[in-house]
């Protein structure tokens, strides 16, 4: 069995004296692991950095075996991310979330395309926080927990949307919420695609997507807490919004 594809490096770990086991996200085969022989060498190790875009050739005797990769670097992203600790935390959050939620060897081409587009914006720190928020909504949708913010779940109106139902993920207007408003999540403008989408507004919106990631996706589908890398990114992004003395 063998195939060739491109992929985003999610993680790597030492295997034996000189090899590495890598976990990659590919458009056609989803999240896939394999051994890179000599991956710990001085020639190959610099290629195997988190977020790297790799040309991959995989081979195994049987399809369900771990198999081995040969890799060539298409594009490195770690050096760009390391110039800004918040961006670096964001990169780690993306890679950790993908490794957390994606089943092995299940293709998600639309999510792959959105992920690649997001990582290609790492050098644009002014755009990245909002792009990351949009990516989380795509992730929720791809995993079956998408938010429906088109109209009020109670009245059907499209104006005055102010809340999100924590149960259904649907928008609710201020009028439709009535006495149940205190049981609903706020609907920030950044999630509606309105306003300036400052870092503070993005952090507010990430609290909403985070609720569904934690209480729906992680709880129902994965069965364990979200990776700490996401919380670290949100925390660092929040600190950028806090005035310094």
Which one, of 102, 79, 101, lies nearest residue 91 by Cα?
Answer: 79
DSSP string, 100-143: HHPPBT---HHHHHHHHHHHTTTT-HHHHHHHHHHHHHHHHHHT
Closest-CA residue to 51 (of 124, 128, 116): 116
**pLDDT for residue 242 is more than 70:** no
User: What is the structure's pLDDT at 240?
Assistant: 81
Strands, E assignment, the chain: 2-15, 19-26, 30-36, 53-59, 68-75, 161-164, 171-173, 185-186
Q: Can you tell me the mean pLDDT for 159-177? A: 96
Opening angle at CA 226, ends 118 and 106, nearest 5: 60
SS3 227: coil
For 184-220, how does the pLDDT look when each residue is reduced to its tens digit (9 = 90+)?
999 999 999 887 789 999 999 999 999 999 999 998 8
For the chain, give the mean pLDDT.
94
Classified as helix, coil or strand, 18 is coil
The three-state secondary structure class of 50 is coil
Instruction: Specify the pLDDT at position 109.
Output: 97
* H or E element that contains 1: none
The answer to whether the CB of 12 falls within 8 A of the CB of 71 is no
Tell me the pairing of strands 161-164 and 185-186. Answer: antiparallel
16 SS3 class: coil
pTM exceeds 0.85: yes
> Residue 137 in contact with residue 191, Cβ under 8 Å?
yes
Tens of pLDDT, residues 79-91: 999 999 999 999 9
Q: Residue 179: left (phi > 0), alpha (psi -120 to 50), or beta?
A: alpha
pLDDT of residue 75: 94
> Mind listing the domains of the chain with CATH numbers?
2-76 (2.40.50.140), 79-149+187-239 (1.20.1440)
């Amino acid at each position: 069995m063998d195939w060739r594809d491109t992929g985003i490096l999610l993680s790597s770990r030492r295997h034996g004296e000189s090899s590495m086991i890598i976990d990659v996200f590919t458009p056609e085969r989803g999240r896939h692991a394999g051994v890179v022989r000599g991956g710990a060498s001085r020639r190959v190790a610099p290629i195997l950095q988190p977020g790297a875009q790799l040309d991959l050739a995989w081979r195994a005797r049987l399809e369900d075996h771990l198999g081995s990769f040969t890799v060539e670097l298409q594009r490195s992203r770690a050096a760009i991310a390391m110039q800004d600790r918040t961006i670096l935390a964001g990169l780690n959050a993306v890679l950790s979330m993908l490794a957390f939620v994606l089943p092995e060897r299940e293709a998600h081409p639309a999510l792959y395309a959105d992920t690649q587009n997001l990582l290609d914006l790492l050098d644009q720190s002014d755009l990245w926080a909002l792009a990351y928020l949009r990516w989380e909504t795509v992730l929720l949708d791809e995993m079956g927990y998408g938010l429906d913010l088109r109209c009020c779940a109670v009245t059907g109106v499209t104006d005055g949307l102010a809340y999100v139902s924590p149960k259904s993920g649907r928008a609710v207007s201020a009028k439709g919420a009535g006495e149940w408003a205190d049981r609903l999540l706020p609907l920030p403008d950044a999630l509606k695609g309105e306003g300036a989408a400052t870092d503070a507004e993005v952090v507010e919106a990430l609290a909403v997507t985070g609720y569904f990631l934690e209480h729906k996706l992680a709880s129902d589908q994965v069965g364990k807490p979200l990776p700490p890398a996401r919380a670290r990114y949100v925390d660092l992004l929040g600190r950028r919004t806090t005035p310094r003395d």
